[in-house]
Structure 1
């Protein structure tokens, strides 16, 4: 951040403290931020709203605390495994995300996929291999014997997806997630 900027970190107690041991400036619910109206220039909320039972209310709270012209930087997963269960509630399409941001009184300035289609496909395959490897360990299955092959496959898939992503045209219908920039009117 540029010199002279102040930041206030806010996290949800149950996940931030109990699951991850976070130590933000404050613990709060995103749907009830402990900040004054129009008191901040920017809000950064990365990979969070899928974990909120009321993402619409949280976006309205963000709009409430932003100054006029204030900026929101937000990222969300789209094609991604369930994580932080049982606190993983929804996924947004690019259209649903834009709709919710605009309903909250902000204007979407940029909305783009976080990964291309082939990189997303590679990511999903690698996550599936990793998840199955973890399950093999948890269940004490003979699948652990396949670890060396899975590790090799992950390396090959990552390199192949990266190269293919450089050579093939993009397709925005398949992505791991979205990044949005919005401004309060």
Structure 2
């Protein structure tokens, strides 16, 4: 019971350097705004969760959220309009103007099938927006299956009728390093808590280190070039060929 309470407490600190993932969360609003600007017409959001894009969408967007029943059955709180499998979408061909799949592809055992299904239900000229992690810890196990580089994402266009029209990476190298260090420290504390391990004695030091690591990563990242060689993840925008 202590761990859920700790997570709830940390949830209130998401927008502060006191949170281990501050460098992840501080830019999420801007990322959603950039994605929302691309969206018009009928939207399918695969793995919609709590529909986080809703506040950023224009009034004319018809938002259909899809999520996977076993995910919700685990106690996950979602607001799906339709329950289904992203690898076998329950929609007719050419049904949507836009599809988003944000931090979901890594959880699909057969992403090739999912990509093909998304293009099937997307109208010619329609937009598919994918957000995927790269240098990010395993999560939601056992349902975490793969990671892609930017070039790996571009290879989908070699196997499917779509063009990659935009791609950008998330996080500068030192920010990524800070995020991974803080996540390792936080996970170590949670594991020590569950196992009643003496490593928990390091908690006061970890609480002190997390904001220092966050702020140092943020500050030093702005003093150095960013060639994208240590990205936290990617956003890729594909356009279905006519």
TM-score by length of 1: 0.95
The question of 1:124 aligning with 2:180 is answered: yes
What corresponds to 2:202 in structure 1?
146
Superposed, which structure 2 residues align to 1:8-157 within 5 Å? Answer: 8-157=64-213
Could you say what the CA RMSD is over the residues aligned between the two structures, in angstroms? 1.2
Q: Shift in Å at residue 184 of structure 1?
A: 0.7
Unaligned 5+ segments in structure 2 are 1-56
Structure 1: 5+ residue runs without aligned partners? none
Distance 1:101 1:87, change over 3 A: farther
Q: Is the 8 A contact 1:17 1:23 kept in 2?
A: no
* Pair 1:102–1:71, CA change in 2 (3 A): farther
Q: Distance in 2 between matches of 1:96 and 1:140?
A: 41
Q: CA deviation at 1:43?
A: 0.6
The structural deviation recorded for 1:17 is 3.6
User: What is the CA distance between 1:16 and its match in structure 2?
Assistant: 3.4
State how far apart, in whole Å, the 2-side matches of 1:111 and 1:26 are: 29
Report the Cα offset of residue 21 of structure 1: 2.9
Q: 3-state DSSP class of the match of 1:167? A: coil
TM-score normalised over the length of structure 2: 0.74
Shift in Å, 1:116: 1.4
1:91-124 per-position Cα deviation (integer Å, ceiling 9, x unaligned): 1111111102442211111111111111111110
1:4 Cα deviation after fit: 2.0
- Shift of residue 127 of structure 1? 0.5
Shift of 1:18: 2.3
